[in-house]
Amino acid sequence: TSQTYTDFDGNKKTAFTVSIPANSAAVLEKTAPVKTGSAFKADGDTLETPFYRVKFDENGYIASLYDVQADREVRNLSGASLGTLWFGEDVPNSWDNWDIDNDLEMKLTDCTELESFEPVADGEVEFRIRTVYRLSPNSRVYQDMVFYADSPRIDFETAIDWHDKHRFLKTVFDTSVRSDYATQEVQFGYLRRSTSRNNSWEQARFEVPQHKYTDLSETRFGVAVLNDCKYGVSLYDNRIALSLHKGGCKPDPRGDEGYHECVYSLCPHTGAFATDTVVYPAYALNNPVLIAGGSVSYQPPVTTDSDHVLIETIKPCEDSDRAFIVRLYECEGSQAQAVLTTGFDVKRAATTDMLEVETEQLAPDNGQIALSFRPFEIKTLKFWY
């Protein structure tokens, strides 16, 4: 299934649904479109999707997001609407382009002005709402909010036209999830940080780093905020506030002025934090499918039978022409047994350290290698072909 839409720059694009195995490829043939109707029902400030009943507020933010499968409201109804943009003064005491002071959150408010709110795509694949927000007389945000027919993920495709100094921009998600901690990705794993600010240690973490996701989960339900390039975030109780832009002026007086693009996502999920509920969607957002002309039959070079042992990297070997490197890690913080299967004839295999120096020879059995992982363990393998 597919449908077309026009992006911010006036380019015509096609949204389509296709299943592609990891590290593999699929061939699409262009055919005449067959219209089967929309998977969505919009009526004024309400929208029904296969996953949600949505109500928008007067600023175009999500005032209510009712998860029909989990039978619960996702938004904290006493907090800010989901996706609210907070904008305000940012004058740190030192290190103007890098530091954030702990009084920043008190200076940020919902002061954006909605200039337009228009559905631009409605079909069997997605429902896309395009909004334009005026942050100040100088800066604007252009945003597509995308609801999918086959995924609970809600994408915010965002372009920021920034011409302000000493200002800061965040997007806020006040959720209905109650959890003592948030799960936040770091390289090859995650950290869990408190959502309270009861002591000086917690108060000092008013802004923290993350990689692809921050997740708040109960035992049977959770909400993750995913991103493709925005790594500063603040937590408080059930609120996730993602930092989008900073207008520092020192040492570079231009700061980050200009046009910037990013994508972040709201990802409610049934069940607690796990690979399939959070990690896979985060990787899918950060590693979009590459499209090229032609036809190819492609076998994945390596696969694994464990869902929480991820093949993070496949790369050429640094010191051998007929070998390549595979790096894997366990992503949930649990012990794992995994069988690695190669899609080619292996001449030789070995484990290496991170510098690709061989540490142990392996003996593949019909192209398969059995591996044991400790929680968050990283393994690097070298294959000759």
| Residue 32 in this model has a pLDDT that exceeds 70 | no
Distance CA 256, CA 88 (A): 16
State how far the alpha carbon of 2 is from the alpha carbons of 50, 125, 218, 265, 360, in Å.
17, 6, 35, 21, 48
Under 8 Å between Cβ of 330 and 51:
no
CA atoms within a 13 Å half-sphere pointing along the CA-CB vector of 32 = 0
Tokens found for residue 290: 């590459």
Looking at per-residue pLDDT, the higher value among 308 and 344 belongs to 308
Using one digit for the tens of pLDDT, what is the confidence trace for 131-165?
999 999 999 999 999 999 999 999 999 999 999 99
Q: What is the pLDDT of residue 252?
A: 86
Specify the range with the lowest mean pLDDT, choosing from 98-107, 124-133, 267-276, 331-340: 98-107
Tokens found for residue 72: 């619960």
Using one digit for the tens of pLDDT, what is the confidence trace for 212-238?
999 999 999 999 999 999 999 999 999
State how far the alpha carbon of 182 is from the alpha carbons of 145, 216, 236, 246, 375, in Å.
25, 5, 10, 24, 19
